[in-house]
Amino acid sequence: MFLKHLSAIFVSIATIRSAYGRACSAPPSLCAYDLTGAFTPKKRATCAGGQTVQNEACCAWFPVLEDILPNMFDNECGDEAHGALRLSFHDAIGFSPSQGGGGADGSIIVFNDTELQFPANSGLDDPVNTEVPFIQAHNVTPGDFIQFAAAVSLSLCPGAPKVDFMMRRPMPLAPAPGPDGLVPEPFDNVNVILARMADAGGFTATDVVALLASHSVAGADTVDPTIPGTPFDSTPALFDTQIFIEVQLRGTQFPGRQPGQGEVMSAVTGELRLQSDHLMARDSATNCAWQSFAGNLPGTQSAFATAFNKMAIIGHNPANLIDCSDVIPGAPPLPANAGPHLPAGQTQNDIEQACATAPFPTFTAQPGPATTVPAIPQV
C-alpha cells in the first residue's frame, strides 16, 4: 500500500513543481500565490467557508485542515499526531551548510528510499505512509504538508502553543537528501547534539531543550521494539511540562525486559527515558535551561514555538514563503487538574538536582498508588 501511494505522488510531482514554480513579476511584498501557482495582490481575504485570512492564498489550506483533523488524526492527540510531529523534525533537521540536505523540504518522503534507511529515521515509514495520500489528494508539496500536519497536530494536544505555518516550499530536487548522521540519535552525547543543531539551524542550547518539549506528546516505537508506543512522560496526550519534571527523577527501572540502544532507566513504570533527554537534564550546558521549563508552561510554550518556527523553515528563505499561520487552530487549554506534579509514589528527594545556580522547583506528588503509565494506542 505504501509503495502504491508513493508512486502516485511521483506522478504529480511535475504538476506540483510547475504550480509552485511560477513567478510573480511584482515586488515580493505584493505577491501571493495559491496552490495552482497563480498570484494575486496580497490582501485580507474572506475564504469560501467564511474564514478570514491575511493572504488569500491561504484559503486553500482550510479544505486540507478539514480533511486531516478527522481522517488523519481522528481529532485526537494520539499516535498519528505524535508521528506527524516527529516527521517534521526529522525532515527539517537533515540539513547542513557544509554537508548538504534540503532542510524542511519533504525529501524524507520524495527520497524515502534513501532517508528512511537512515537508522535515526527508524519507524517513520508509518507517518510517511499516512501522509502521502493526503499530499496527493490536495496537490501540495510534501515539504509544505509535513510542516502543516505537524502544526495542526499540536492544535489537538491540550496545552500546546500555536505555531506558525509557512507555505510555498518547492519540491526537493536531487541530490537533496543529506548524508546519514544529520539527525541526532538518542545515544549521542550533549556536545554532539548541540553541535549538530547549531550547524543545522543555528539553534542555541536553550532552543534545543525547548524543542524537547515535543517529548511531552510522544512515545518510543523503535528504541525497544517489543513495547511500541511507550510514553516519555506520564501525560502523552497533554503538552505540559511533565517531561522536564519526570526525567529529572532518579531512574530505577526499564519498561521492557531489555533496554534498547539510547535508553536509560526511568522513574515511572511504563515510561521510557531516552539517554539524550537524561543527559540534557544533567549536563552543565543544558541542565539549568531544562530546569527552567519544569512547571513553567508559559515559558515552555513560548520557547518551543520560537524553536519550532525556526526549525520549520530550515533550508528556505522566509521572504519566498507565504505566512498562513492564521489557518492553524489554537489548542485547547490544559484541564484544570493537570497542573505540574510529581507522579504518585515519588517525592522531592527523588529529584536529581543538576543546575548549580538554583534549586529544582518543589512539586506535590499525586495521591494514590505509584503511577503506572499505559502505552499509547497504536494505529
How far apart, in Å, are the Cα atoms of 55 and each of 32, 45, 143, 218, 283? 7, 6, 20, 33, 44
Q: Can you say which residues are annotated as belonging to the binding site?
A: 91, 103, 105, 107, 215-216, 233, 235, 240
DSSP 8-state class, residue 45? E
pLDDT, tens only, 172-214 = 987 778 899 999 999 999 999 999 999 999 999 999 999 999 9
Q: Report the distance separating Cα 334 and Cα 144, nearest Å.
A: 28
CATH 1.10.520.10-classified regions of the chain: 2-182+308-327
Q: Distance (Å, rounded) from C-alpha 281 to C-alpha 259?
A: 20
pLDDT at res. 93: 97
Kindly name the residue from 82, 90, 316, 341 that is annotated as catalytic.
90
List binding-site positions for heme b.
215
**Dist. CA 291–CA 357, nearest whole Å:** 10
Tens of pLDDT, residues 353-371: 999 999 999 999 999 999 9
Q: Which residue has the higher pLDDT, 6 or 82?
A: 82
Question: Any catalytic annotation for residue 90?
Answer: yes
pLDDT at 33: 43
How does pLDDT run across 333-356, given as a tens digit for each residue? 999 999 999 999 999 999 999 999
pLDDT classification of 151: cutoffs 50, 70, 90? very high
Q: How confident is the model over 64-84, as a mean pLDDT?
A: 98
Return the CATH fold of 2-182+308-327: Peroxidase; domain 1 (1.10.520)
Distance CA 140, CA 128 (A): 15
Which of 81, 86, 84, 105 has its CA nearest to residue 94?
A: 105
Q: Does domain 190-301+337-350 have CATH number 3.40.190.10?
A: no
pLDDT tens sequence across 1-51: 444 445 444 434 444 444 444 444 333 433 444 454 554 445 589 999 999
Residue 258 has pLDDT above 60, yes or no: yes
Return the C-alpha cell found at 365: 506528588
pLDDT interval class at 379 (50, 70, 90):
confident
Residue 365: burial class (beta carbons within 10 Å; 0-12, 13-18, 19+): middle
Instruction: In the chain, list all ranges with CATH 1.10.420.10.
Output: 190-301+337-350
Q: Which residues make up each annotated binding site for Ca(2+)?
A: 91, 103, 105, 107, 216, 233, 235, 240
